[in-house]
Amino acid sequence: MQDRPTAVELLEAAAEFVEREIVPAIQGARQFQVRVVANVMRIAAREMHLEDPAVRAEVRALAELLGHEKPHLHSLDDLHAAAIKLNGELSERIRAGEADAGDFRARTLRVVRQAVEDKLRVANPRYLEADFAARGKATDQTN
Amino acid sequence: MEPGEIARRLEEFIRDNGGFDRVAIENFRRMAGGASREIWSFDAELTRGGKTARRGLVLRRDPGAHKIDTSRSAEFRVLRAAHLEGVPVPEVLWLGEDASALDAPFFVMERVAGETIARRLLRDEEYAPARKDMPAQLAEILARIHRIDPKRHKLDFLAAPGDNAALTEVRRYEDNLRKLALEPHPAFELTFRWLLGRIPKTPRTTLVHGDYRIGNVIFGPEGVRSVLDWELAHLGDPMEDIGWMCVRAWRFGNDHKPVGGLGTREEFFAAYAQASGVAVDPEAARFWEVFGNLRWGIITISQARTHIDGFVKSVELASIGRRTAETELELLNLIEGA
C-alpha cells in the first residue's frame, strides 16, 4: 500500500502545473502539444476513478444482453478480457444481422450507448455534456 | 533525421532539381498540424546566374506511418492539376519521389500566408467576415474540384471506385477496421449494417478531395485562400466530400452549425448545386455524412496504432486513440431510429 498522495493526486498535480505554468509560457505548435500532455494526464486520472465500476457494469450488461450467466470476476485485467470477448461476440451477432431490427436491436443500442458514454466520461466529459445538452437530455449525473 | 540535416540535404536537392547555382535555407521550422505527417516552413535564397530570389516555401514529408492510401507523388500531381484548373492551392515546385534525399518521400510547395487553425476561424472576431462567406466559398471551390477531368490531367492512376463508389469505400474502411482495431467496436458494426442497407447509386464519378474540411484550408478575414491536404484524393462519388464536410469532428464544438461549424446543410447544398449545376440528394448526403463519421472513427484508431506500434511516437497520436468514442456516440445519434 502506497502512501498519499494517490496516483490520481500525483497526476492531477502534474496536469495542473503544466496547465498553469508551462502552457502560458510557450506558443504555437509546442503549446498545443503541451496542452495535449495535460489532457492525457487528466484522462488517466479520470480513468483511475471511473474504469473499475464502468467496466464491471459493461460486462454485466453484455452478459445479460447475450444470454450468458452473470460472470464473477475480480481483477480489472479479467474484466477487460471479458469485455473484449463479449463485445466481440456482440459484434459477430450484429454482423450476422441479428441487431437490424426488433427487441434485440433496441437492447443492443442501449447497452452500446451506455458503454460509449462511459468511455467519454473518461476521455472527454465535456463532449458528452454538450451532446446531452444538444439532445435535450438531463445533465450527466454520474460525475 | 535532425532538422539541421533535413535543411542541409534539402538545399542540395533544390539546387540540383531547380537548376540553381546556390540555395540557402533559413528559418527552417516545424509547423503546427499534421500529427503523422511533417510540415516544415522555410525561406529559401535561390541564386542562378548571379541573380538571387527569396521565396517562402513549405516542405511536406511523411516519415512513415500506418498509411490509409497516402503517397507524396500522387498528392503532388493532384495539386498541380488543381492549380491548373483554378482551384486555390499552393503551387507545387519539386517532388522527391524516391525518398533517398530526405529518407522519406517529400515535396516542396509555395507557402501561402494565412491561418489554418479552425478554432480561430470559429471564435476570433477578426474572422467574422470569413465565417459568413466561407460556406458558399467552400461549396463553389468544391464544385470546381469535382469538375477537374482526371483523364486530361493524367490522374487516372488514382484508385478507381469500381461500379459503386459507396460500396467500395464502405468495404475499404471495413477492411481497415478489421486490420487495425485492437478492441471490438459494436457501435461501428451497427453503423456498417446501417450503411450496407442504404448504399446509394453512383450517378457520377469525379475527382474526390478526400479530406475537404475546415482545418485543411488556409483562410484570412476575407475567407478561403488555399485548399490543403490532398493526400487522400481519389476517384469516386463527389457526395463523399459533401458528407465529409458535415462530420461532427470538423465543427470543433459549434454543433448547431453542421457544416464545419459555419453553416447549415441546406445553404451548403444549395450553394454547391448552384455552382456545379448538380442538385444534392439529401439522402445520399446523409449516407456520406454517416460514412464520414465512421471513417474518422477508423482513422482515430489508425492514428493511435501509428503511436502504439512505434512508427511515430507522439503524445498527440496517442491521445487521438481516445477520441474514437466521440465518433461512436455521434454514429449512435445518427443511426438510432433512422
- For the segment B61-101, what is each residue's pLDDT rounded down to a tens digit? 877 644 444 577 888 999 999 999 999 999 999 998 766 78
- Which residues on A lie below 8 Å from B258 (Cβ)? none
CATH class of the domain comprising B118-335:
alpha beta
Closest CA to A32 of B296, B260, B32, B141: B32
3 state DSSP class of A46: helix
Verify whether the Cβ–Cβ distance A131 to B186 is below 8 Å.
Answer: no
Verify whether the Cβ–Cβ distance A87 to B185 is below 8 Å.
Answer: yes
The Cα A57–Cα A79 span in angstroms is 10
- C-beta separation of B307 from A108 below 8 A: no
User: Which range (A63-72, A106-115, B58-67, B273-282) has the least confidence?
Assistant: B58-67
Q: What pLDDT score was predicted for residue B99?
A: 66
- Which residues on A lie below 8 Å from B192 (Cβ)? 95
The Cα B250–Cα B244 span in angstroms is 9
Domain B3-110: assigned CATH number: 3.30.200.20
Residues 6-65 of B with CB under 8 A from A: 30-33
ipTM: 0.94
Instruction: Give the tens place of pLDDT for each residue, B75-85.
Output: 899 999 999 99
Q: What pLDDT score was predicted for residue B104?
A: 82
Mutation for testing the B interface, residue in A26, A34, A94, A113 having most B CBs under 10 Å: A94
CA of B187, closest CA in chain A: separation in Å?
A: 7
CA of A77, closest CA in chain B: separation in Å?
A: 14
CA of A40, closest CA in chain B: separation in Å?
A: 6
- Which residues on A lie below 8 Å from B318 (Cβ)? 40
Domain locations in chain B as residue ranges = 3-110, 118-335
What value does the mean pLDDT take over residues B31-37?
Answer: 64
Q: Rg for chain A (alpha carbons), in Å?
A: 19
| Greater model confidence, B311 or A24 | A24
Q: What pLDDT score was predicted for residue A111?
A: 98
The Cα B5–Cα B206 span in angstroms is 41
Distances in Å between the Cα of B91 and the Cα atoms of B39, B84, B94, B228 are 15, 9, 10, 11
Distances in Å between the Cα of B77 and the Cα atoms of B157, B206, B219, B298 are 10, 16, 23, 27
Residue A61 corresponds to which cell in the numbers above?
A: 450488461
CA of B95, closest CA in chain A: separation in Å?
A: 26
Q: What pLDDT score was predicted for residue B68?
A: 41
- Which residues on A lie below 8 Å from B32 (Cβ)? 28-29, 32
- Which residues on B lie below 8 Å from A33 (Cβ)? 315-316
Instruction: Give the tens place of pLDDT for each residue, B189-228.
Output: 999 999 999 999 999 999 999 999 999 999 999 999 999 9
